Structure formats: C-alpha cells, structure tokens
Amino acid sequence: MSLEGKTVLITGGGSGVGADMALHFAEAGARVVIAGRRAAALDTVAAQHRAISPVVADVTDEEAVAALFRAAGPVDIVIANAGMAESAPLVKTSLADWNRQIAVNLTGVFLTLRAGLAQMKGRDWGRLIAVASTAGLKGYPYVAAYTAAKHGAVGLIRATAQEVAKTGVTANALCPGFLDTEMTERSIANIVEKTGMSAEKARARLVQNNPQGRLIAPAEVSAAALWLCAPGSESINGQAIAISGGEI
C-alpha cells in the first residue's frame, strides 16, 4: 500500500510502538510527525527516516496539544499512542498515581483525538486510532488505574465512531497484549523490585497471559494500524481490535 500525500501524527513516537509505527508509516510513503516529551528520543527516531519530523509536546496539556497540531499542519491520520503504566494494589494507589495515569492514558487520548478530528472537519477521509491495550477489554490485578484509563479510551473511541459514521473518518482502538517494548521491561523490573522474583520468572508471568506464549512485537501493532488506513477498511469503525494471540 502507499500513503503518499498523507500526513500522520503519532504521539508517544519516541520509543516502543510509536517509534515502530513512525518508521512503518514513513516507509509506506506518509509524512510523519512524532510527538513526545523527550526531545532526544524523538530525534533518534526522526534520524532514521527523512519523512519523520519530531515535535516536543505533552499530551496532557491542552495548549501543548493545540501547538502540536499547529506545528504538524493538516493531518490525515492521528494515532494517540502516548501512554504510561504503573502498578500497585488498589488500596495502595494514591490519588496522585490515579490522576497521573488518567491524565496520560485517557485525557491525553481525548485531547489528541479531539484536535485531530477538528482538523478533519469537512474532509472526505481521515483515520483516528487510539493505541489502548487488552487492559481496555478485561481486568488485570494491580493496575486498576491503568485498566480504568484504557477502558475509558476504548469507550471514547466507540462514542467518537458514532459521531463520524456518516463521514469518511473512522475511529478505532488497537488493543495489544504485553508488548516486547521498553514499557514491558519497566513492568518486569517493577515486579522484580516488589516481589523479589527473578526477571526471567517475571517475564514468564507476563508471557503466560498470551495463549501463543510470547510477547507481542511492535511491528504487529504497526501492521494493524496500516491496515486501518488501507483501502477496504472503510467499514471498520468503532472497533477495539485485540492483538493478543487469543488472550481475548
């Protein structure tokens, strides 16, 4: 497929799935704008392809998001990928912990998609994609705030899809299981620190959620995002697509 002439904006583009999607979309011919809070990480990704441009932005800040879209110019595809994960039992989750995860994983998605949809008004084609998680489709222990935020992101997509259904815009969520990324490595380190188990056992605990017995490769999420932008995807709207080896 070719995305020549299309512009895609990807938040959380400095690492993990966001970085992988940036490269895949650039290779498909799109102009890619990646956003995040870490300039050095964004620059490293942008240096890998001439079609990728970095913009430092905090998705939890309304004015920063508005400035990001002004810098990006007209966009055709918006991927709200920025996210974070922290774990703790519910009774040990502070209000600050809760607010931080809701801000990044839900409010950031809302601000990003709202700004993207505003730019798409009056056009006959557009794609809004949220990178959620299997945690947006089921519950996991010790990540109540993260799970609540990801459920919220899925609900936001389903509501938005109803609003855009009679236009050429679609809204969908991608819900991967545990990914082979830096975020999962941090989760493993957190399990090791809090339980004393080895890194190997901590990794195995996460892998066992996937019936295929493996972590999800970022490229698998990128492939799904590209499919949602390809001809023939026009009727895929309001879906929360699990990329999880059959976990859900």
Pull the structure tokens for residue 118: 């505003």
Alpha-carbon distance of 199 to 154, in angstroms, equals: 31
pLDDT in tens, 92-103: 999 999 999 999
Contact 52, 22 (CB under 8 A): yes
CA distances from 180 to 16, 17, 24, 229 (A): 8, 9, 17, 24
Q: What is the DSSP letter of 134?
A: G
Q: Looking at 25, 98, 110, 146, which residue is catalytic?
A: 146
For residues 190-202, average pLDDT: 80
Alpha-carbon distance of 8 to 137, in angstroms, equals: 26
Task: Please give the domain boundaries of the chain with CATH numbers for all domains.
Answer: 7-177+216-242 (3.40.50.720), 178-215 (no CATH)
More confident residue, 158 or 193: 158
Task: Output the pLDDT for position 198.
Answer: 86
Instruction: Write down the number of H helices and E strands in the chain.
Output: 9, 7
Phi, psi dihedral angles at 60 (to 5 degrees): -85, -5
Alpha-carbon distance of 223 to 117, in angstroms, equals: 23
- Average pLDDT of the residues of the chain: 95
Task: Output the pLDDT for position 50.
Answer: 98
44 pLDDT above the threshold of 80 = yes
143 pLDDT above the threshold of 80 = yes
The residue among 204, 221, 222 whose CA lies nearest residue 213 is: 204
140 is catalytic: no
For residues 79-98, average pLDDT: 96
